[in-house]
Amino acid sequence: MLIGLLIIIGSLLIDQLTKILIFNYFEPTYVNGFLQLAHPGFKIIPGFLEIGYVENTGASLGSFDGAHLLFFVITVIALIFFGYLFTKVDFKHAKVYSISISLFIAGTLGNAIDRAVRGFVIDFMNFPFIDWIAEFYNNWADMWLSAAIVLFAIDAIFLESKRKKKKGLIDEAI
């Protein structure tokens, strides 16, 4: 469980520190009620990674804009659920599962802190090579949540059955 707490704390620190830097060094502007970047940001890796500043008052891709109470309720429910799952982390026997749950908590808390402190989530990373889906900006908390989903799925599809089978063999031997 200590490893899980370290993952949560480390991930939260990376997320919040980068958001603070973006918040302090970039200034958003609004045009006709829509947020526009005061300047286009800068390209870290042209065609792959750009940095900018977007104040996201909604959910993914700006959906549910301004639904603060809804986000609060969903966040509390999610954190209770992930907290329960965190009681089952076992880095010795279920590393992928344990990392995924830790990242779920870190990502959820990272964006929740933004909403509670600022009233919006700071998004700043854009990956132009996937603009064919939609141009969107995200942050480290979003990345932690995406990684958590992938890792959780890998664990559920491929690793959980192996653990159960192995545990069954151990139980039969006893």
Residue % of the chain over a pLDDT of 90: 51
Domain range for residue 145? 2-173
Q: What is the pLDDT of residues 60-109, one digit of tens each?
A: 655 666 677 888 899 999 999 999 999 999 999 999 999 999 999 999 99
Residue % of the chain over a pLDDT of 70: 80
- The model carries a pTM of 0.84
Number of domain units in the chain: 1
Q: Which of 15, 123, 131, 155 is catalytic?
A: 123
What phi-psi label fits residue 101: left (phi over 0), alpha (psi between -120 and 50 degrees) or beta? alpha
Q: What is the mean pLDDT of residues 27-52?
A: 68
Q: What is the pLDDT of residues 15-28, one digit of tens each?
A: 999 999 999 888 76
Q: Considering only CA atoms, which of 155, 144, 151 is closest in space to residue 104?
A: 144
Asked if 28 contacts 37 with a C-beta cutoff of 8 angstroms, the reply is yes
Q: Considering only CA atoms, which of 170, 130, 160 is closest in space to residue 146?
A: 130
90 is catalytic: no
Amino acid at 135: E
Distance CA(43)–CA(40), nearest Å, equals 9
Q: Residue 157: what pLDDT?
A: 95
123 is catalytic: yes
What phi-psi label fits residue 28: left (phi over 0), alpha (psi between -120 and 50 degrees) or beta? beta
Q: What is the mean pLDDT of residues 48-69?
A: 75
35: β partners: 30
Q: Residue 151: what pLDDT?
A: 98
For CA atoms 79, 126, 60, 62, the dihedral sign is positive
Q: Which of 65, 90, 114, 142 is catalytic?
A: 142
Residue 4 has pLDDT above 90, yes or no: yes
